[in-house]
Structure 1
């Protein structure tokens, strides 16, 4: 809301209106001089109006005070001054000044007439006031005339007023007025000389000012307090399309659109109060179009208003273009998935994009104003400081990679592209940086370095190197191990093809060159063995696998391959060949020995089968004949003895059969085929149940268990295992025998489990020995050869067998084929 003027401001504005010169006065000097004259006349008039009543009140006024000379003089003077004031407001201000001087002179001479109780001859001193006013408002010659007239009047005054002695006039008043006039005239003359110099300087200054006005790139206007234009420069006329004469007929309000004037008042009261104002407005041109300008207005000398008008159309267009460009830039920056940041040289953040905020999980207010250097751990922080210092010294676009600490404590790797922003002197004032998360890349690089290190280590351990060769340029690459294999200094670099051929053993060079020619033609990898002579004189055997690389046009690009030091392998192969030859000889010898042993075993088996069985059959037969023919002659003890003899011979026969069967297992030829173990177990179970139908027994058999093996041998093994389970569960009221298969890693394991008497695992090592028994013959019959037979069958199938048990908790036998 506009502020209300104070009383002093209102009085000041009233005084300015009362002392305003006539509008026809154009020059600032005339207007200033006339304003002084008007102010002086107005002040004298007000002073007399106040002093005359005060004199009447204070100096014992008489009843007929209007007849008193002071009152009459005051009235006449007041009327004269009012008339002079009114005349000064017209173009005839010189007459007003002359009238004021005349009024003063006349009043002085009237006051000097004797017979006045208040009159003194010293009243002539006030003539200096009239002379002083003349020196201000008139020329020097006019002032001389007025001063001379006053002196002449004083000299002739005693003639018209005889009561005044002439010497009183001459001695003091005339001499005082004469001296004062001379002083005033000299001062006026000096002032005129200074005024001429000042006027000359003013003219020069005005010429310069006018030249500046005419050449100024901005419009310049000067208006009075009411807004009427008094001065305009050519640029202002050009901007608004008016001639100078047309422009000077306008008021400020004529140029401002009415609707804008209602929204934005002119604020002339603020300007007149001494406040400078800069604002943007539309001004209406002569053709009716609107011009957007920036106006800088202020009050200048004489209470006038000066305005500097600048056409800001292009600037506004540029600002709008810049705004749109910044919006597009901001949109691009905000939509970037990469991190964007602006920072000062001390790393204080001034701007970040949304991607930066999301990456760190912070808001802009939490980031801007902080130093991003705080997010970089040591010693990467010192490296970043050196990077910034380097860019400050040599501004350029540069890349920096360092670790960054996230708010959650996680450390990540970032890559930044830093672009310095320079001022007009080329000094770095800010950095624009674009970054990305390269943590995964760093991990990959670290993994690659470790892989390369492991590869180099593996190549060193395996004496294995890789190489590349450009057949056109002859340039090549050797891994570190290639230099070691050839005992070549890596600082020399890979050898040329001719140098490489020189390493080859002379007997192998032709073969290697032929291999090289094949590789140049082939599109498949090829392998070749050759020998090299190393610089230290040692001979090495090498194997190389090489392949060729071709481009889309079918042109050979380069050759690549691997080289393996096979010297030790060659030595081992030679040693193996020697050992194989020795082994073959030993095998032949051992085979002959085994054939002899087998023949002896066959002879022994035949002897056992025939020579031992005949006596046993005779003993058993004669014992049976005695029991049958001489039973009535033998008592019970004799018959018992013969029964025991028969049982012993029969048991001895079974032992002989088992021994022969055990020996045949190791000698019989195996015939491999698919065998359904589940079907064999099922058949054995049925046979056992038929032999003892009174027993209560449950068989649980997993169907479809098949293996590769010899059917008769496998049936023999299963008969022994199932038979043992049947035997050792005979004392159980409800026997349970289970056959199945389990998988352990990549192996299939068969098992037979029962709920029989079990055994102590401390005797497990005796289970599979021939004729080993863990129970007495009185508890469970048997020869002790069954499990030994099973183990030999499983062993011949390349498998193994083992058992798990505990007394009274049954037993489980596992086997793998």
Structure 2
């Protein structure tokens, strides 16, 4: 109950204008009658209690304006008790009056808005008046109902008419004044509808007959809803039976009217126990029944929070629970409680385990060598472990409640603040390094990892930090950086093109030599991965030799001409087509893994050398080798031919030299006899024969010596026009040609040769003399010296129109001491010598001839382009 007070009539009037009150209480002596008049002018029905002494005039005025009066001049206890009774009674009347007014207004509005029919009829239920939504509810028109076509009894559902008829008969007999019924009707379209009927017997006075008045509402929707609710409640009961929680319902006295199956199992009760009147108080462990009763009443009002209660089973064993309840509201009033009970035994055990764990981990934190602390957003420390206190040389009292910022040099403080301000719920972690100043002014380095802690609303409430002293690590890092720089400098100045990748195969070093080789600057490639280092070599991103350190890729290895593994190192040779502006280059590379202190591969290095010149030299050497092999094979064939020739030569020499010796030996015998006989004529003949044999032997020996000398260097080869050699040869044979009457013709436009001038002149002299010798005596004897082109080959020739050579002899004419005409001049060594000279110069010789048609001796020699 709310009470307002006022110190004057004016203040009370202002409050009446501003608010609604259930009752006004004032003293007569405080201008109470004037306030009463004002109140009545604003609200004629507001209860008014006037406090007066026993004064008939005051009592008369109070009664005149409809106010109650209460005497002050009595025992104080009696006075206040009487005043309390009057106020409560007035408030109750006032609120009931207001409620009735509201109900009347609502009822009228409801009748206007709801599908309803108001009617009046005779006691025989013949309609005399009917209004409202007749056709909407029944399907019949007002005229059809008013003319009893059909009658109301025919509209009522047959099953309902059986129990309604006695009530209708009672109304006719006047024994039933008011009746309220719900029943079914059959609409004109045959559909069944539900209606709620409120009727009463009305008699307006003497001389008036009684009649029936009533109102009828369409409650079809409500009935369907109730049916659905019953079905829903049935499903609710079934679902409650399946819940893993305990579901229950209580009546207003706390009796358990429902337990689901889980509840029966947990508490150990049976449905029979519920029927015997089991209450909620029987299963709660509590020694204060008043507290239980008070909590139950609060729960019925819906203001009871969730409770943690210790409950007990039928066997007396207790277990912790959380109970959640809601009042069951029926017809606007609580009719009981409905709720669930959660067994939190496991949660309690977990909470205890959590507390134990917290104690355990707090002990661990306190024993940590890392610095651990928590602090508010303003930097004020709320917790720190012992290591933190020891590190800074301060006590708990000196640090807790103080900000840590004074421990950090001013030049580092702004960076730390920025780190704090960068944290959010989505990104709550950060790490950073800064310096601290210890007592005594010693400066140390620390590394901190901070986590921002937010509440459920997203508000930053605290930071938790873990730190380490990294002073020594910073020194080591500086040393490592210097060592790394020295290593990078060494790699940078390596003569071979070299690059280094990390374990993710990103480039971390790219020296000057590889910059020169690829044209890619270090700044363009450092940090790049995804095989970017291969593009300058191959024009595309693909694995290189260095990648074989990380993976066994047969496809990558197949790109190389050869790959060799020696221990941890991998060697490879490949042609890189896009180097040097697309000219390409042959490369020899070696890749090696890089290891950390634990032997884990953390990167790889590849050094590359351009071996194009070496490859070119190898190819030239290989070509020279092949040429040498060919020349050796050719020389071998020549030697084999020369050996065969030598065999023939030795045989021929031995045979041909033997013939003069036999002659000499024979004629020496003759000479001996002729000397003994002193036959001077025969002696001269014998001596002449012996002399001829000696000359013949001398010729044979000279030709043999000449043949043996061919192949030795007489004169170095030189570039000489072939015409000069021809003219030199003609000068040596011209007398012979003239004496035998043979004409010699020569060609023009001779090519230049690279030959031994004297040896080739010897060839021409021999061939021309043979031509003169075998064409002499022929009509118009002629020897031609010329040259021709057979395809790409230059062929020189000496042609005569002599007797020709039988085809069967054409191969033999070049054999040593072979004579086509045994009676002819010479030893038969000339053409063998010619053939030997031509072959020594790298040429070849052959004869084209038909018997009786002359002969053409053809040969080739090296021509200068």
Whose helix fraction is larger, Structure 1's or Structure 2's? 1
Whose strand fraction is larger, Structure 1's or Structure 2's? 2
